[in-house]
Amino acid sequence: MEDMYHADRAMSTQQDTKISAKGVQVYYADNHAIKDVNVEIADKTVTAFIGPSGCGKSTFLRCLNRMNDTIDTCRVEGDILLDGEDIYDPKVDPVQLRAKVGMVFQKPNPFPKSIYDNVAYGPKIHGLARNKAELDEIVEKSLRKAALWNEAKDRLNAPGTGLSGGQQQRLCIARAIATAPEVLLMDEPCSALDPIATAQVEELIDELRQSFSVVIVTHSMQQAARVSQKTAFFHLGNLVEYDDTDKIFTNPEDSRTESYISGRIG
Amino acid sequence: MKTSLLKLDTRTKKRNAAEARFKAYGLTAIIIAMLALLILLTSVLGNGLSSFRQTFITLNVELVEDKLDKSGVRDLEVMSKVTTISYAPLLRDALIAELDERGIENPLSNRDLGDMISKEAAATVRNRVLANLDLVGQTITFDVLASGRIDAFFKGDVTMESAVLDSNTSPEALTIAQQLADVGVIETKFNWNFFVWPDASVQRPEAAGLGVAILGSLYMMIVVLVLALPIGVASSIYLEEFAPKNRWTDLIEVNISNLAAVPSIVYGILGLAIFINFMEFNQSSPLVGGLVLTLMTLPTIIISTRAALKSVPPSIRDAALGVGASKMQSVFHHVLPLAAPGILTGTIIGLAQALGETAPLLLIGMVAFVREYPAAYTPEAGLFGEASTALPVQVFNWTQRSDPAFVERASGAIITLLVFLLIMNAVAIYLRRRFERRW
């Protein structure tokens, strides 16, 4: 009943729904990792997933672009709709899905190739550029969007792995947005970065909101408060509370949310 | 009770002693291994280096027309009927003339004097004559092989004392040889032919070479590389990246590990049964040898390739999948290039192992005595189907022969084999350094 309530809350917001999850259950072999999660993720919004370690927020995030498919023992039930289409439909090819739903990982993981090749890889395999000039343009646009262009424009052929941690993560973001996704999933994108790099990435996330729906998993409640408009609190595989970020941090409905926010659990 | 930091307690002392003991064991083991290696190398190099040098006699041979071409028609077919037996006396006469000219005393019978020249020499001269019939009637200078005993004398393996007891030579012959060497008629020089000539019969160790063995080994390595690398890498990629992890793949995995530990002679029996008895390929051929060695090398390549693939961090796979690459694209664009140095190293180690393998080759008949370059080693025939031999088998063959000159040859073959292995390992290390990427 509680879940129904949250679903209603999400529906009542003004923005369009981008992703809608209904009754999602995730099992790792016998371990029930996600229990009946219902959530509506709005377009052009930053949605933060918070919660203690092992609460299932990363697992749920990886369900949204079917990255869990690579884990043999993982089983997903329920419906996840992207623009009203079930992404777990047998007719859906996860490769096509992932071009629409990009992902940035916890640890910066650029390919051991040049900066240019890192960004150009996605457009190349999806055939987004007809020629070199178009590809150059995509690379430049993506790097500009990722606020890396000024630092990288003179060394596009230098290896991406030679950048600093924060630059590497922005390179990964550039790589993810180069395929023109509609949704950008970020799994603790700042946990391996220092405060300055974190600030840069957070600023970037705020700008990305103009073009994408961004879903970010974070351990830092301050970060969630700073960057997101909506926040979902996960606990032990349940979605406990999902609401406007301001509301969650100032006036949470659930006592568990309040405990977590004030540092009593987690 | 307060303890002082300056005084070691019993526990610490015990621990330190255990550590010191362990270090000592390790050091001893390494020293023993180094000593063994040193002894091996000294013995092999000491015995074998001399095989790269060979003693030659420079003779001005008169190619008497009466003996070689009685009819005088200079017809190749007619002259081919003249065997080496007719050429040997010409060489002996040339040697006698040389001795007379230099004023060297000759107490030997003609027969014993002839024995100072290798039996191979007559064949060498005959081949030269048959290649150019115009030589008949002229006096030509030939650099011919000295016999094995004379050769061994200049390498220090035969002495005046041992010659007394030797039925194949005599102190008188050695004295003549020494005098000829003093005037420069007999010379010991680098013997490139050791790597070119085929094997020779037991009577003429001085003419035995590694040519056919090196070619045979080369062809087998080509077969192994062409078959084992693609099959091994493809199956590793499938098992590691695509195959579901279930009971069947576990079973396959266990069996691959088991195959890597199967004694190599068993692969020989398998090859004999399948490739020779069932598929009826030529026995002793590099094709069959290569196929058997491929079977033997596959597990090594598969295991090392899988290890190399496993060592690629999963974050790279995630990154590729995250931007929408398919499984195959992520493997071929990202995982495989990163695993390449490991795969190449594993492959070369596998090849090196195959190069030195003897036992399975014995069973498929590669132990045969190959006196001639196989006819098929010509562009128009198949390269891989004719009887051949291989380097390690040649070592095995030569060590079985009683003439001490073959001991030297066998050691020389071992050195050659070791040099090939060293080169392959050096290439492996180079490739690893060259292609290794750090991130």
A190-244 pLDDT per residue, tens: 887 888 888 888 988 988 888 889 999 998 888 999 999 999 999 888 999 999 9
Q: How many CB atoms lie within 10 A of CB B428?
A: 19
Residue B61 has pLDDT above 90, yes or no: no
Are the Cβ atoms of B315 and A122 closer than 8 angstroms? no
Instruction: Verify that B220 and B120 share a domain, yes or no.
Output: no
Q: What is the pLDDT of residue A192?
A: 79
The DSSP bridge partners found for residue A37 are A24
Residue A13's pLDDT is 46
Confidence of residue B438 (pLDDT cuts 50, 70, 90): low
Q: What percent of chain B has pLDDT over 70?
A: 96
Which residues constitute the domain of residue B265? 211-435
Residue B130 shares a structural domain with residue B224: no
* Spatial separation of the C-alpha atoms in residues A15 and A25, rounded to whole Å: 26
For all residues of chain B together, what is the average pLDDT? 87
When pLDDT is cut at 50, 70 and 90, the band that residue B207 belongs to is confident
User: Least CB-CB distance to A109: which of B315, B324, B326?
Assistant: B315
As a whole number of angstroms, the distance between CA B320 and CA A179 comes to: 12
Shared-domain flag, residues B376 and B305? yes
pLDDT of residue B303: 94
Tell me the pLDDT tens digit for each residue of B271-294: 999 998 998 888 888 889 999 999
Examine the domain organization and report whether B225 and B345 are in the same domain.
Answer: yes
Chain A residue numbers with beta carbons less than 8 Å from the beta carbon of B324 are 95-96, 98-99, 102, 122, 125-126, 179
Residue B250 within a domain = yes
* Cβ B287 vs Cβ B383: under 8 Å: no
CATH number, position B298: 1.10.3720.10
CA-nearest of A261, A236, A234, A264 to A248 is: A261
**Does pLDDT of A22 surpass 80?**
yes
Residue B11 lies in a domain: no
Q: How far is B324 from chain A (nearest CA, A)?
A: 5
Q: Is there a contact between A65 and B439 if contact means CB atoms under 8 Å apart?
A: no
User: Measured between CA atoms, how close is A261 to chain B, in angstroms?
Assistant: 31
With cut-offs at 50, 70 and 90, classify the pLDDT of residue B382. Answer: low
Alpha-helical regions (H) of B59-188: 65-68, 76-80, 84-102, 110-114, 119-131, 148-154, 160-164, 171-182
Residue B32 lies in a domain: no
Q: How many domains does chain B have?
A: 2
The answer as to whether B4 is a domain residue is no
Q: What Rg, from alpha-carbon coordinates, does chain A have?
A: 18
- Which comes out higher in pLDDT, residue A263 or A230? A230
Q: Is residue B24 situated within a structural domain?
A: no
Decide if A126 contacts A179 (C-beta within 8 A): yes
Strand partners, A235: A238
For range B410-420, the mean pLDDT? 92
Phi, psi of B144 (to 5 degrees): -105, 160
Whether B216 and B329 map to the same domain: the answer is: yes
List domains and CATH numbers for chain A.
Answer: 2-110+182-261 (3.40.50.300)
B323 and A176: CB-CB below 8 Å?
yes
Least confident window among B71-85, B171-185, B357-371: B71-85
Asked whether the beta carbons of residue A172 and residue B319 sit closer than 8 angstroms, the reply is: yes
pLDDT score for A2: 43
Q: What is the rounded CA–CA span in Å between residue B118 and residue B114?
A: 8
Binding-site residues on chain A for chain B (CB distance < 8 A): 65, 67, 70, 72, 95-96, 98-99, 102-105, 107, 109-112, 121-122, 125-126, 161, 172, 175-176, 178-179
According to the model, what pLDDT value does residue A4 have?
Answer: 43
Which chain B residue has its CA at the smallest distance from A169's CA? B319
Give CA–CA dist B347/B302, Å, rounded. 9
Q: Is residue B388 part of a domain?
A: yes
Confidence of residue B136 (pLDDT cuts 50, 70, 90): confident
Quote the mean pLDDT of chain A.
87
Least CB-CB distance to A111: which of B245, B316, B326? B316
Can you tell me the mean pLDDT for B334-349? 90
Question: Does residue B426 share a domain with residue B292?
Answer: yes
Q: Is the domain of B237 the same as that of B184?
A: no
Under an 8 A CB cutoff, do A72 and B325 touch?
no
Query: What is the distance in angstroms between the Cα of A15 and the nearest Cα belonging to chain B?
Result: 27
* Mutation choice for B interface testing from A103, A117, A175, A187 by most B CBs within 10 A: A103
B1 part of a folded domain: no
**Least confident window among A85-89, B147-151, B367-371:** B367-371
- Please give the pLDDT value at position A9: 41
Residues B127 and B274 in one domain: no
Tell me the three state secondary structure of residue B94: helix
Per-residue confidence at A6, pLDDT binned at 50, 70, 90? very low
Q: Based on the domain organization, do B429 and B316 belong to the same domain?
A: yes
User: Given pLDDT bands bounded at 50, 70 and 90, which one contains residue B296?
Assistant: very high
Residue B393 belongs to some domain of the structure: yes
- Going by pLDDT thresholds of 50, 70 and 90, the confidence category of residue A174 is very high
Q: What's the mean pLDDT in B39-58?
A: 89
Predicted pLDDT of residue B124 = 86
Q: Is the same domain home to B415 and B336?
A: yes
Could you give the percent of chain B with pLDDT greater than 90? Answer: 34
pLDDT, residue A3, reads 45
Region A106-124: mean pLDDT is: 92
Which pLDDT score, from 0 to 100, does residue B67 have?
Answer: 79
Of A107, A112, A122, the CB nearest to B323: A122
Q: Is B44 exposed, middle or buried (0-12, 13-18, 19+ CB in 10 A)?
A: middle
* pLDDT given for residue B437 in this prediction: 64
Q: Are residues B176 and B241 in the same domain?
A: no
Per-residue confidence band for A176, with pLDDT thresholds at 50, 70 and 90: very high
Residues B258 and B112 in one domain: no
